[in-house]
Structure 1
Amino acid sequence: MDSEVFAREVGRLIRKRRKALGLTQSMLSQMTGTSRRYLVSLELGESPGVRIDTLCRVFTALGMTISISVEEYDESAEQSERDRPSLLSENRFADDKESYVHAFEHMVENLGRPIA
């Protein structure tokens, strides 16, 4: 997911939750210490470089959370997987892992940028 798609999806979720709670953009801006214009940009997905701390304040005010999970390394599961025949090569797994890591790094990098 590129940063523009991510920003639009986050904005859609924020708007939906804000409206479900019966809050106006002005009310939410006061609750979060942000400007109403900032929230408009955020909801429209026009802020792909939103700062993570600001996004967390908005999410907290709306009763939402941001979650990042990492799978635990399980050596016994890996051994079990190796014992079973697979249609996927180990190279495919390595390529997938690399693309997930790259996508995550890109997402985190963009979240730390201030809004222009």
Structure 2
Amino acid sequence: MTEISASGNTLQIGNQTVEFEYGIDDLVQLNGIIVVLLNIPTGETNNRNVIGLDQNGSIRWRIEELDSERTDKPYVEIDITNGELVADNWMGVQAIVDIDTGAVKDTKLTK
């Protein structure tokens, strides 16, 4: 199994190093995909801050942006629940994410 670690904005996958424009808040793995959650600083807008990478460090997808009247709605939490990738944004929307494409399969309001 390949060792995976994150520090600041750097993801280490074995011998591969991947640097992101923002710090890494969290990472999870599912079906061979490494999913990172980037910490978007206050005052910046980036609503596609969940990224899926393969075991070689190549980016496979960025999460689909949710429709909303609000322009600033980054994701703040990721988790694996019942074998599926779940991403929550700060507005209380929980998205079930297709692990192969980053498409949002379903959403529900949690607040």
TM score, norm. by length of structure 2: 0.24
Structure 1 or 2: more strand by fraction: 2
Structure with higher Rg: it is: 1
TM score, norm. by length of structure 1: 0.24
More contact order relative to length (CA 8 Å, sep ≥ 6) = 1
